[in-house]
Amino acid sequence: MKYDIIIFDADETLFDFKKTERVALRDTMLEFNVDYNEAEHLNIYKEINTAIWKELEDGRITQNQLKVERFSRFLGKLNYNIEASIFGKAYMNHLAKGSYLFKDSVELVENLSNGFKLMIITNGLKSVQEHRIKKSIIADYFESIIVSEEVGVSKPDPKIFEIALRTYNIDKKKILIVGDSLTSDIQGGINYGIDTCWFNPHQKENSYGIKPTYEIYSLSELTNIVNKSR
């Protein structure tokens, strides 16, 4: 068997984070009595949030700073006089409630758990991921779930892989990471020296020059890849 361990990213790989984000932002805005306009507010937030998580990947901001700064920028852009830290806490409370899996996730994880050791490594905040992922219906299939805030380092830093795998005496050639982000999951796997599988359901153009070992457009394709490796 080529692979013994399969590492998954969580959000937008197994979990539908876009839905979680959409519902959480709506419910938070309504909590603060804001007349919510999804077309306007969600697009502004996503643009700001994507940029600030990239800053985290690049080491230009800490996760503690991120918690408040993204909402400081968001509320400032909209000229709303709401305390960013209070808004941020309310948003994370709503975000933690949203554990939505993609339709193929459960079947895939169940099948793979019979022949492989499974892990999750996710860039995220402990208070959010604790509920969304660690208490999800698929959590028990994973030997470990590593949340970046808990361990103090984020993908693509190879240290997060070292932490996740420190109890395993295993050849890196027997490890595969699966994720939707080229700059986080795939670059992280490359940095650590393991095979990578880019989950690209929307068939986005790869404009980063980052070369995954495999590219798949549906989760079901992963089963074929790992079974061929046996």
Q: Which residues form the catalytic set?
A: 9
- Long-range contact set of residues 67-76: C-beta below 8 Å, sequence gap at least 24: 67/92, 67/125, 70/45, 73/48, 74/44, 74/45, 74/48, 74/49
Omega cis (within 30) before 158: no
Enter the DSSP assignment of 152: T
Burial string for 181-192 (b: 16+ CB within 10 Å, else e) reads: bbebbbbbbbeb
The SS3 assignment for 77 reads helix
Tally of CB atoms within 10 A around 91:
24
